[in-house]
A = this chain, B = another copy of it.
């Protein structure tokens, strides 16, 4: 049994993961409580200790982090949400505290790709794929011939910060908050109030997607545009990585059917058939559990 830990800016999720990818005994801690209490590292040590005492069947702990890691995977080197963890030799600290346990750390988006690899329903087909996680942030992880791609210095595939053809970063256009802000801008331009979205008190990717199914022209145009932007960014990623199996996950991917047609159109427009003939664009299969399962996947690689 493996303990998976998914560190986030808001919460830290723990869960025991079976080799079949079932999550048991999940717990959620508030990141702020850890930071403001005895400190993040001490809190992590304490709660891992509690889990190991309670579940002695655990042989390894995998931890996913929403930041950049050292190439040797011994520490976090950039994590604006939890500055106190930066450059702390966290793996060494945990190994000396719990010497009989395997510890591994990884970036959370890369964990999500690992999670899809080990536990997703696509796993048999895909030795090489890109997982694009479209949420508040835009992250990605790449499996290449069954191995996580780290890049030259350990932090490749930070695709949310790539510049698009419109000069802004991908995340600053298709991240959830930006998608909502963009929709509001379009609504402000719709002075005749033709769009049924005007009647909504609150906008979310789901609400905007629901109006597509009602035939709302503004909602359709928003998702078309999102699809084009993501598709053009994928063109650039494909040119660099030569990967044409792409899984889309995260909160935005609920609107898969509404933005993927334009996404594919952009890719077909800018890529020769070498890339597109056997291209696969599909939904990620694990949703919110991908990060935690992938963290556990780190240990499946090690033991």
A residues contacting B by CB (< 8 A) are 68, 77-78, 128, 142, 144-145, 150-159, 161-167, 169, 232, 235-237, 239-244, 270, 272, 274
Q: A151-B240, A152-B241 are in contact. List 17 more A-B contacts (CB 8 A).
A: A77-B274, A128-B153, A145-B152, A151-B241, A152-B242, A152-B244, A156-B240, A156-B241, A156-B242, A157-B240, A158-B240, A159-B239, A162-B240, A163-B236, A163-B270, A236-B236, A240-B240
CB of A207, distance to nearest CB on chain B (Å): 31
Is the CB–CB distance between B162 and A165 below 8 Å?
A: no
Is the CB–CB distance between B241 and A240 below 8 Å?
A: yes
CB of A153, distance to nearest CB on chain B (Å): 5
Kindly state the separation between the CA atoms of A171 and B103 in the bound complex, as whole angstroms.
45
- Among residues of B, the one whose C-beta sits closest to the C-beta of A140 is B240
Give the chain B neighbours of A236 by CB distance below 8 A: 162-163, 236, 240
CB of A155, distance to nearest CB on chain B (Å): 5
Kindly state the separation between the CA atoms of A237 and B155 in the bound complex, as whole angstroms.
12
Is the CB–CB distance between B163 and A242 below 8 Å?
A: no
Is the CB–CB distance between B68 and A159 below 8 Å?
A: no
Looking at A158, A167, A237, A240, the one whose CB has the most chain B CB atoms below 10 A away is A240
Kindly state the separation between the CA atoms of A237 and B270 in the bound complex, as whole angstroms.
17
Looking at A78, A150, A165, the one whose CB has the most chain B CB atoms below 10 A away is A165
CB of A132, distance to nearest CB on chain B (Å): 12
Is the CB–CB distance between B154 and A242 below 8 Å?
A: yes
Is the CB–CB distance between A166 and B163 below 8 Å?
A: no
- Among residues of B, the one whose C-beta sits closest to the C-beta of A232 is B163
Known contacts A165-B164, A167-B165, A274-B68; is A240 also within 8 Å of B77 by CB?
A: no
Give the chain B neighbours of A153 by CB distance below 8 A: 128, 242-244
Is the CB–CB distance between A158 and B242 below 8 Å?
A: yes
Kindly state the separation between the CA atoms of A274 and B80 in the bound complex, as whole angstroms.
12
Known contacts A77-B274, A78-B274; is A162 also within 8 Å of B242 by CB?
A: no
> Lowest 8 A-B CB distances belong to which pairs?
A151-B242, A152-B243, A156-B242, A128-B152, A165-B167, A153-B242, A162-B236, A240-B240
Give the chain B neighbours of A241 by CB distance below 8 A: 151-152, 156, 240
